[in-house]
């Protein structure tokens, strides 16, 4: 019987004390969750997607509940990179947890400038890595366009790669016909790891007003409803690339996290579940440890991709 299994994993050269990370856009800038979560215990924190300039996002209504999930059309409301650096990152510096910044832009130049700027302040402000959002479904310009085409994915990831030495995670969209070709393009372009999936495009209609329930008409579907899709994509990508894969999509309990890890994810991100239970990250970390003990597994890395087919 093992009493203290190893939960440490390494992603893109970033050493995590456990494989549980927060998914961008569902954990604010970290500080909002500090009353509920000991931020020191997380594997890593991924913050709300950031752009060069502040953004207001889409008009409301922009969030609705759906069966086993939710649709959101927030569209990257954020404080902009300079306020992030001055007002948000200093608070996080006191924690012993890697901070990964999720970046977005309307143009290739904007992504490159963001990567350069964050690289410049990384040591002083504690930026450990970048997650590149090439997959947001809620914006009119850019973003998802990058992630739905292999050539465009290669172009954006390789351009960012040249602009920074920070560990680079490319976040993929499920709104594609073949996720494997996109994953390969991101790997060839120099991504150190891949995270998937972002939300699936969807909509909902109010039958009384006959209007879309979201002002933006469409939104991104997240939560338990998307887990089987996400798992299938993680498993396919795991077999295709040689870089670590981070699993995201509908994780609300320990079994969900374990499914992703067994299917090939070296780490996982928890999103929508944070809105239901702000302590879910910590509970899942504790329960992963319990599972390892009960199953006599001394190192979480033994479980990664251990699926029997
Ligand atoms: C309200 C909301 C805001 C989000 N904002 C971002 C974002 O800024 N950048 C990003 O890459 N993904 C964003 N996402 C996507 C999540 O990080 C995650 O990929 C997705 O929700 C699937 O995981 P889940 O089912 O655990 O929520 C957002 C999701 C939600 C629900």
pLDDT at 3: 85
Closest Cα to atom 28 of ligand 1: 25
Please tell me the pTM assigned to this model.
0.97
Q: What is the structure's pLDDT at 144?
A: 58
Residue 137 Cβ inside 6 Å of ligand 1? The answer reads no
Domains belonging to the chain, first-starting first, are 9-57+76-200+223-302 (3.20.20.70)
User: 25 CB less than 6 Å from ligand 1?
Assistant: yes
> Which residue among 48, 143, 220 has the greatest number of ligand 1 atoms within 8 angstroms of its CB, and so is best to mutate?
220
The pLDDT value given to residue 142: 47
Judge if the beta carbon of residue 231 lies within 6 A of ligand 1.
Answer: no
Cα 24 to ligand 1 centre (Å): 5
Pick the catalytic residue: 136, 252, 292, 303?
A: 136
Is residue 30 within 6 Å of ligand 1 at its C-beta? Answer: no
Distance 195 CA to ligand 1 centre (A): 12
Tell the residue nearest (CA) to atom 15 of ligand 1: 198
Q: List, for the chain, all residue ranges whose pLDDT scores fall below the cut of 50.
A: 142
Q: Is the CB of 102 under 6 A from ligand 1?
A: yes
d(CA 82, CA 122): 13
27 Cα–ligand 1 center, Å: 9
Q: Is the CB of 223 under 6 A from ligand 1?
A: yes
Compute, in angstroms, the gap from residue 190 CA to the centroid of ligand 1: 23
Q: Is 136 a catalytic residue?
A: yes
CB of 248 shorter than 6 A to ligand 1: yes
The model's pLDDT over 229-279, given as tens digits with 9 standing for 90+, comes to 999 999 999 999 999 999 999 999 999 999 999 999 999 999 999 999 999
Site to probe by mutation for ligand 1, drawn from 135, 138, 169, 222 as the one with most ligand atoms within 8 Å of Cβ, is 222
pLDDT at position 261? 98
């Amino acid at each position: 019987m093992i009493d203290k299994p190893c939960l440490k994993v390494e992603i893109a050269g970033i050493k995590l004390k456990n494989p549980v990370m927060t998914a961008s856009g569902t954990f604010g800038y970290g500080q909002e969750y500090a009353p509920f979560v000991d931020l020191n215990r997380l594997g890593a924190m991924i913050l709300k997607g950031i752009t060069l300039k502040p953004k207001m996002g889409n008009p409301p209504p922009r969030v609705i509940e759906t069966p086993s999930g939710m649709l959101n059309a927030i569209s990257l409301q954020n404080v902009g990179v300079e306020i992030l650096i001055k007002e948000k990152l200093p608070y996080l510096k006191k924690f012993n947890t890697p901070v990964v910044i999720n970046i977005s832009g309307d143009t290739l130049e904007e992504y490159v400038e963001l990567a350069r700027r964050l690289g410049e302040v990384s040591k002083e402000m504690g930026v450990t890595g970048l997650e590149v959002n090439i997959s947001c479904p809620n914006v009119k310009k850019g973003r998802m366009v990058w992630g739905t085409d292999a050539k465009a994915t290669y172009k954006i990831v390789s351009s960012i790669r040249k602009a920074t030495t920070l560990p680079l995670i490319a976040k993929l969209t499920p709104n594609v016909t073949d996720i494997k070709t996109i994953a390969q393009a991101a790997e060839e372009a120099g991504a150190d790891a891949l995270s998937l999936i972002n939300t699936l495009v969807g909509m909902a209609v109010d039958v009384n007003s006959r209007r879309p329930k979201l002002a933006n008409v469409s939104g991104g579907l997240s939560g338990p409803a998307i887990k089987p899709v996400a798992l299938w994509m993680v498993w396919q990508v795991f077999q295709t690339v040689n870089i670590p894969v981070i699993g995201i999509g509908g994780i609300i309990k320990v079994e969900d996290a374990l499914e992703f890890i067994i299917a090939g994810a070296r780490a996982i991100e928890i999103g929508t579940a944070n809105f239901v239970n702000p302590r879910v990250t910590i509970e899942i970390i504790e329960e992963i440890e319990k599972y390892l003990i009960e199953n006599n597994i001394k190192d979480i890395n033994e479980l990664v991709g251990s699926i029997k087919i």
